[in-house]
Every structure is written in C-alpha cells, then in structure tokens.
Amino acid sequence: MPKQSTRGARRRAARAAWLPLLAAAACAPARSARPPAPVPVPVNPPDLQLEPPAPPAPVSLDAPFDAAWIDRTLATLSLREKVGQLIMPWVGGDYMAIGTADYERLRDWVQNQGVGGVVVSIGAPLEVAQKLNILQRMAKVPLLVAADVEHGAGMRLDAGTAIPSGLDLGSATKFPPLMAFGAAGDEKLVYELGRITARESRAAGIHVAFAPVVDVNNNPANPIINVRSFGADPQAAARLAAAAVRGLQDGGLFATAKHFPGHGDTGVDSHLALPVLTVDRARADTVELVPFRAALKAGVAGVMSAHIAFPALTGDTVPATLSPKMLSGLLERDLGFKGMVYTDALDMGGIVTKYGNADAAVLALKAGADVLLMPPDVPVAIDAVVAAVGRGELSEERIDRSVRKVLRFKAQLGLDRQRTVDLAQIPYVVGVPAHLRVAEDAARRALTVGRDRDHLLPVDPARVRRVLSIVYSDDGNPFEGRAFQTELRARFPGLRTALLNGATPQPVLDSLLAAADSADVVFFSPFVRVTARKGDVAVDPGVAAFARALIARRPTVVTSFGSPYLLSAFPDAGTYVLAWGAEDVLQRAAARGLTGQAPITGRLPIPIPPYLPLGAGVTVGTGAVGATK
C-alpha cells in the first residue's frame, strides 16, 4: 500500500513554500486595566485521570459477537449498501473542518455511498481520532478503521515536524522497522511491538492493523519490502510473524498478514507495475508460504493479497488479488484460511494499468477477496459490483458472505455498542514513556555491526577528539540525522557535521574530502528510505563515489539508517553498521553503541551478497577503542 509518497510530496511542497520567505510577525496581547485575581488550581483536580484507561479486550476470529445484531443490520441494507460495506477508501489524517471540500467528500463516501470502513493515513493522534469520531457519527453502520502500522502506531499517528523551526510536534510510539526486530531476534520483543501498537491504535479509533509484513525478503534488489520484512530466513520470519500476530490481537487490534503469497523475491514495486514471481510451488512451500502458515496457525484474522503474478501456480500472469486460484484456491482451500481477505490498494500500478477501477473491483470479489481497499473511484467501484450482481456474474449470496465477515469484525470489536473513542484518554496511552522505553530497547538490541575490519569500534571520546559526521539524505530531508548528530555532539564537543543529498554540488563534496583529512574518525551515515512509488533504493552515484574516496582516505564508520544493502555502493568500507531505519530511537541507539555507551549485539537477518552472510555480526562491548569484540 502507499506509505510515505503522499506525505513526502507534502513535505517537499512545504519546504519549497517556506524557503523564499521566513519573516513572521507577532502581536502582543492587549492588557486589561486591572488584571483579574488568580484562581487557585488544585494540585490534583477531581476530574484528572491519573491512571491509563483499561486496555481493550483481545480480538480473534473466535471471539464472541452479537449474531442477532448482524442479522438485523444485514436485513436493513440494500444491495448497493451491502456492496458499500466491502469498500474501504483512503482517508488523510489531517485536520478536517466541517463544511470543507474534504469534509463533503468524506461525508459522501460515508452517508451516500455507505462505505464499510476507511484506511486512515498520517496525522496527529488527536486529529486522527477526532476525524474518525466525526465519520463514525455520520455512518449508518459503524465503520471499520484500518491503518498501515507495520512497526508501530507512530507510523500513522504522527503530527510531523514544523518547518522551518524543526519543532517535533509529537506522535505515537515510533518503533524500528521489522528487519531491526529480525536483527534482535526476540519473539517477546516482537510481541510487545504488537501489543503496544494495538493499545495506541485502538485509543485513536483504529481497529485493523495492516500488519505484520510476513514477506521473506530474499532479494536485495527488492525496492519496496526491504526493511519492512523480518528478514530472509523463512523460519525466523515465521517465528517472529506469529509473535506479532499474537501481540496485535491480544492488544485488541485485528492483525493482517501481508502480502500474500509473498512479495519478498521481486525486483519491481507493485505500486508502479506488476511483479512476476518466477519460482515454482515447491520453492514457495519452503520459503514464501512458511510465514503465512505460521501467521494462520497463530490465528491471524486477516490476509492481504499482493498485486503480483505467480505463473507456476496459476498458469497465467493475473495478479494474485484477482486470481481465484490464489485466493479461493491456495489461501482458502489449501491453507484453510477462514478470516478476512483484503485486497492491497486498488489504485496501485500493478492493478490499474491493466484492469482499471470497475473491472478490478468485480474480479477481486470473484477471486475470493472480501474487502476492496482504496479503489480509485468509490461510486464507480460500487456501481460496477452492483451491475455484476444484476447480470448474474456475482450472486447476492456471495456479497452477503463477505458483508457478514465485515459485520462480524465490527461486532467483535464492540462497535455495535460504542463506535467513537474518548479523546481525553489518548494522552494516557499514546506515546507514553513506558512504550518509548520498549522502542528504545528494541533499537539498542537491533544495532548490528556487519564488519569492523579496521577495529574502529567503539569510538572512544576520551581518545578521539577530531570527528567529522556526514549524513546523506536520499529525499532531501533538512532534519535528517538530527538526533544522531545531537547525540554525537554530546560526546564530541568539537564535532563537525555536514548534510548531503543527491543535489549536493561537486565542489561541496570536494571541500568535505579536504576537511576529512584533519579528522581522526569520520562517520558517514546514509539515510535511504523504502517508500512507495520510489522505484529505487540506492545511494546517489555521485555521493557513492564521494563515500568511496572518503573511505580510502580516512578511518570511516559507515552506518546505514535504512536499506541494509548499501554496502554494494562502497564495498571497501572496513566498518559497516546497520541501524535499519531513520527513527530517532535508532539514531540515538546508534550514537550510543558506536561510542561505547551500550553493547552492540545484533545479527544480520539477511545476507548482503557477496559481502556478508546471513547471521553475520560483530559483538562490540562497552569500553575504549580496541575493546574485545
């Protein structure tokens, strides 16, 4: 599903808007002639909630529900309203004022089209919850709300960073990506990721996690899965996937294993085009399907299909999302899955370039999908399915079967009794220190030293004084690496820093090379994110050449804050560290580990061919430079 592309476009537009003009005016408030007498405020007002609210009940396919409510509700729905229950469009998490164009568009979807739910995107926790409450109050039938919270609610419940001040506006807990948990290798830690994600998501009105990603990422050229996967070992991925499912559903959030039948061994982003999986069934049984079987055994409530073709199983290049052989056959009949089948987003290139909006909606339901995510045009998709029923291509009984699944989920969540959330409870649950401590522990344990041939680690501030830290951002983020640089500066008061991107002029790169000659140690830190519709996960060629020259001249610690496969851009790097992602907790953990403030114990959950094997990792203890590893 689309992840960061829309948000990234907004960020780039915002930067372009504020750069030409940074002036602002402020007005002092008017003073009254006589200030009012102060009103005493009790230390603990009687209505102040000092304890977090009770957690939601666990959810599962076997949880009890009010069957009578489902029957009554279904009986009130017209055919078109039934089809609407199977549609979940995308909704931004931004602030929505009543009467605006955004409000009217969403009101049409909910009240006139009768959609069964929404997929909510990025926004501040309170803004998202308030927006969802408004939509819930509009709806004839309670809405089922889903979100991509693959590595924590902070992926979506995030107010962002103010430009140009750089002020962090707050968020839910931001965990490292799943591959970092693969490096740590601890099921209990993954369970906590799921439980905390569920707790924070439910507080904001989200009911379904489009997580975990259970794809086995065994293709270094994969441009869209990458660190979103637990790793390349099917058995390890299966073990951690099951733990994630248990944590999410014990925490009250329906889990969804994705992307069926496996998106890890592809070199194409399905947001842009249709990938084709060229392996046979025997290979799929021992690799791609292993984590899905584990997720099903753990009781996962949902599975999301992938827009990928699997000719060895289907005999054609029809995407799995639209293939009865994949969904009704392999998933439901062969693997015995009885839960909710979601399509991946129907506005993705792997679908729309060939099948369009109307045909894709009909074909997905015929294939065995229950819920259609993010069709490009909601009314057109609904009308197409209604027309298909009218001409006998789909039966109304087939529609009813999927609608009953949707209503059952809503009843099991208790939405038939309470569909909105209490905004006053959110600060007691979302982004609280206890949750952040778990994220920090995960980041510390995930940090991995792939190699340290130069014996640079840990870099001891007592012995190394002249340090240059260079951060490379592949998307031009002006705040990239800020937490990492701040942590390093606290240890190296004379730290010199630089921020590069693909547009950095060559004279600037040349001057940095000259500056590096006076440094005892250089930290080179590429931030290369995996985002939808990006199509490429690599370091800019000019910056890669600069990094190779840097490594040849000075002792250099290369730390990848993102894609782990960047070693191919500068294979002579003697010290290569994996921090796995750009989240602040990972930046802080990396700075502490690299300078000997914490041990480094992670192991590669992937191979980096031809340089590092699966399971590689140098253990670095605390202490001075040259400590035993």
pLDDT tens-digit series, residues 305-348 = 999 988 988 889 999 999 999 999 999 999 999 999 999 999 98
Q: Could you please state the CATH topology (level 3) that the domain comprising 67-160+167-428 is classified under.
A: TIM Barrel (3.20.20)
How is the chain split into domains, by residue range? Answer: 67-160+167-428, 441-594
Provide the pLDDT for residue 57.
96
Residue 373's φ and ψ, nearest 5 degrees, are -95, 130
Only one residue has tokens 């062969």, namely 334
Provide the pLDDT for residue 20.
33
Provide the pLDDT for residue 205.
98
d(CA 496, CA 470): 8
d(CA 114, CA 382): 10
Provide the pLDDT for residue 591.
98
Provide the pLDDT for residue 263.
87
Instruction: Tell me which residues of the chain have a pLDDT lower than 50.
Output: 1-36, 41, 533-534, 623-629
Provide the pLDDT for residue 275.
79
Indicate if 441-594 has the same CATH topology as 67-160+167-428. Answer: no
Provide the pLDDT for residue 532.
52
DSSP state letters, 72-132: HHHHH--HHHHHHTTEE-EE--S---TTSHHHHHHHIIIIIS--SEEEE-SB-HHHHHHHH
Provide the pLDDT for residue 278.
83
| Position 412, amino acid | Q
DSSP state letters, 171-212: BS--PPPHHHHHHHT-HHHHHHHHHHHHHHHHHTT--EE---
Provide the pLDDT for residue 432.
96
**Rounded to whole angstroms, what are the CA distances from 280 to 39, 311, 312, 313, 314?**
75, 8, 5, 7, 11
| Position 290, amino acid | V
How many Cα atoms occupy the beta-carbon half-sphere of 407 within 13 Å?
25
d(CA 480, CA 527): 8
Q: Which helix (H) or strand (E) holds 511?
A: helix 506-516
Q: From the centroid of its chain, how far is CA 427?
A: 22
Only one residue has tokens 């792939």, namely 450
- Check: CB of residue 282 under 8 Å from CB of residue 238: no
Provide the pLDDT for residue 132.
98
- Check: CB of residue 601 under 8 Å from CB of residue 616: no
Angle (CA) 533-534-536 rounded to 5° is 135
Q: Which two tokens stand for residue 343?
A: 């399509």
Q: From the centroid of its chain, how far is CA 521?
A: 34
**Rounded to whole angstroms, what are the CA distances from 618 to 140, 450, 527, 607, 621?**
58, 6, 22, 14, 10
Catalytic residues: 271, 344
Alpha helices in 213-357 (DSSP H): 234-250, 281-286, 289-297, 311-314, 349-352
Provide the pLDDT for residue 539.
87
Residue 10, classified by CB atoms within 10 Å of its CB into exposed (0-12), middle (13-18) or buried (19+), is: middle
Superfamily (CATH H level) for 441-594: Glycoside hydrolase family 3 C-terminal domain (3.40.50.1700)
Close Cβ partners of 474 (under 8 Å, ≥ 6 residues apart): 501, 502, 526, 527, 528, 529, 539, 540, 562
d(CA 290, CA 212): 14
Provide the pLDDT for residue 538.
72
Angle (CA) 185-191-197 rounded to 5° is 120
Provide the pLDDT for residue 133.
98
What is the crossing angle of helices 482-491 and 584-594, to 10°?
30
Q: Which two tokens stand for residue 494?
A: 């004379």
Of 140, 231, 49, nearest to 605 (Cα)? 231
